[in-house]
Amino acid sequence: MYKDTIEKLTAAGLNPGKTIAETKKETGKDLVGVFPIRTPEEVVYAAGCVPIGMWGGHTEITLADKYLQSFCCSIMRINLEYALRGVYHDVKAVLIPTFCDTMKCIVENWKLALPQVPTIAFAYPQHHKLQAGMEFTIDEIKRVKHELELALHKIITNEEVEEAFHVYEDWRKTMREFTALAAQHPEIITAKKRYAIIKAGCYMDKAVYTKLVKEINEGLKSEGPSTFKGTRAIVTGIMMEPVDVLDIFEENNIAIVGDDLAIGSRLWRTPAREDVEDVYQKMAYMIRDIEGDTFFFDPEKKKGQMLIDMTKALHADACIVMMMKFCDPEEYDYPIYKAELAKAGVPELYLEFDQQLSSFEQIRTRVQSFTEMLV
């Protein structure tokens, strides 16, 4: 029964610690921590390990204050807090990309916070469309592979990387299908379930996870027309947490029918090139072909139009902005697409939050007012 699978993955996404422990037990594989965003998980997977997403959590911060001021992105502070508490002592290596100024510093502090685990820092090229940029992507991915080999004491063959890439391509394709089907059935895939199911993928073996999502997709295909009568929204941002926010959406009968989230469609909306043979070239082209992503150079700032197009294509009523406090790149993008959404007549709800947020009354009131306004 696919609805049991929905419940299973929802629970998995909402309980990362338990899910990670089960993944380790069930697969018997070693775990490698992967920071946000778009870490080349294929290389980790090729090494026979499970990449585990490191997306912060919901906790008090005390130890991380040794390294970071309070005006730092909560995902990064909490990751560091967990590292200092020993939560990640079991991972075999940690991959950290340097996408923003905060992450550049996190790389440096992380080496001290978790000295016993190899830190593998790397950068994607902001000039992702230039030839020099594509060569840099390939050089960096190969360097990451080499450093992983040293950390894991094993050789990762190119064939293993190719096989892993196929697993991930299958996952990306499956997730594109899932989000499309979920948009057709918000009465089944509610805002919270949608997000939790997606997030579960950060903590599971992708092959195992993809199989389960395929079950859900098949189940959704067998459903009749949707009975959903509430608000259809798209969402943009890094993530939708704390998950209490999702309860508020559900209370107000808001469904998420499309997303531009870092834990979400940004990970899979760019398909691989079929006319490219070499797996590293494929990975570089995938980075090259990214459009309208907050974390990649985009002088045309395509995000606003992409949000407008998504709203139209999915017959959404509004766009919700989940602004991660202290995330510079996201904060810079906002005024540009805010104006574009307004010009296009797309209602927009801006919610600022961090992972430590514990009082939700103000957000509840704003969400209520917004849905009333839409009616």
Partner 1 sequence: MAEEVKLTSKELLNQLTAKHYQGALEAKAEGKPVVWATSICPDELLAAMDLTTVYPENHAAAIGARKEAMTFIEHAEGRGYSSDICSYARVNMGYVDIKHAEAQDIPMPDLIFSSTNICHTVLKWYENIAKELHIPLILFDMPFNHTYDVSDNCTKYIRGQLENAISQLEDFTGRKMDYDKLAQKMDMNNATCQWWKKATDWGKVKPSPLNGFDMFNYMAMIVCMRNSEDGHKLFKLWYEELKQKAEEGKGPWNSAEEQYRIIWDGIACWPHLSTTFKTLKKYGINMVTSTYPSSWYKVYETNDLDGMAKAYTGNYANRNLNYGEDLISGLIKDFGVEGVVFHSNRSCKLMDFRCYEVQRRITDKMGVPSVIFDGDQTDPRVFSEAQFETRIQALVEMMEKNKELKRRGDL
Total residues at the site for partner 1 (CB under 8 A)?
51
Interface segment toward partner 1; rule CB under 8 A; list 94-102, 178-186, 208-216, 233-241: 94-102
Task: Sort strands 348-353 and 94-97 into parallel, antiparallel or unpaired.
Answer: unpaired
Minimum Å gap between C-beta 303 and partner 1 is: 10
* Smallest distance from partner 1 to CB 74, Å: 12
For residues 167 and 344, which CB has a smaller minimum distance to partner 1 in the complex?
A: 344
**Is residue 335 at the binding interface for partner 1, with CB under 8 A as the rule?**
yes
221 belongs to the binding site for partner 1 (CB under 8 A)? no
Kindly tell me which residue out of 112, 150, 208, 373 binds partner 1, with binding defined by CB under 8 A: 112
- Please say which residue, 86 or 335, places its beta carbon nearer to partner 1: 335
Q: What's the closest the beta carbon of residue 102 comes to partner 1, in angstroms?
A: 5
Structure token pair of residue 222: 């067998």
| Residue 325 binding partner 1, by CB under 8 A | yes
How many C-beta atoms surround the C-beta of residue 273 within 10 A? 14
- Rounded Cα distance between 174 and 210, Å, is 7
Assess 35 for contact with partner 1 (CB under 8 A): no
Report DSSP state, residue 299. T
Tokens found for residue 228? 């959903």
Does position 366 interact with partner 1 (CB under 8 A)? The reply is: no
> Which lies closer to partner 1 via its Cβ, residue 101 or residue 218?
101
**H/E stretch holding 254:** strand 254-261
End-to-end, the C-alpha distance of the chain in Å comes to: 36
Among 108, 163, 169, 244, binds partner 1 (CB under 8 A): 108
- The CB-of-17 to partner 1 minimum distance in angstroms stands at 26
| DSSP assignment letter at 110 | H
| Residue pair 171/268 in contact by the 8 Å Cβ criterion | yes
Give the interface segment with partner 1, choosing from 45-53, 107-115, 206-214, 271-279 (CB under 8 A).
107-115
Number of Cβ within a 10 Å radius of residue 372: 9
Residue 375 CB: number of other CB atoms within 10 A?
Answer: 6
- Out of 131, 157, 368, 369, the only residue in the binding site for partner 1 (CB under 8 A) is 131
User: What distance in Å separates the CA atoms of residue 216 and residue 10, rounded to the nearest whole number?
Assistant: 12
Q: Between 76 and 152, whose beta carbon lies closer to partner 1?
A: 76
Per-residue binder mask for partner 1 (CB under 8 A), 225-244, x = binder: --------------------
Q: Is 372 in the site for partner 1 (CB under 8 A)?
A: no
The residues, any chain, with a CB within 8 Å of residue 155's CB and separated by 6 or more, are 149
Of the candidates 76, 70, 73, the one whose C-alpha atom is nearest the C-alpha of residue 55 is 76
Helices (H), the chain: 2-14, 16-27, 41-46, 74-85, 101-113, 131-152, 158-184, 191-200, 206-221, 244-251, 279-288, 303-313, 328-344, 361-374
User: What strand order describes the sheet that includes 318-324?
Assistant: 254-261, 231-237, 318-324, 348-353
CB proximity list for 251: less than 8 A, separation 6 or greater: 364
**Under rule CB under 8 A, residue 79 binds partner 1:** no
Say how far apart CA 30 and CA 94 lie, in whole Å: 12
Site pattern 274..303 for partner 1 (x: CB under 8 A): -----------------------xxxxx--
Helix residue spans in 315-360 (DSSP H): 328-344
Under rule CB under 8 A, residue 143 binds partner 1: yes
Options 11, 223, 253, 329; binder of partner 1; rule CB under 8 A: 329
99 binds partner 1 (CB under 8 A): yes
- Per CB under 8 A, the list member of 4, 62, 89, 130 interacting with partner 1 is 130
Residue 72 as a binder of partner 1 (CB under 8 A): the answer is yes
- Which one of residues 102, 179, 236, 270 is an interface residue with partner 1 (CB under 8 A)? 102
> Quick check: 183 and 257 in contact, CB under 8 A?
yes
Q: Note the residues at the interface with partner 1 (CB under 8 A).
A: 66-69, 71-72, 98-102, 104-109, 111-112, 121, 123, 125-127, 130-133, 135-136, 139-140, 143, 297-301, 323, 325-326, 328-329, 331-336, 338-339
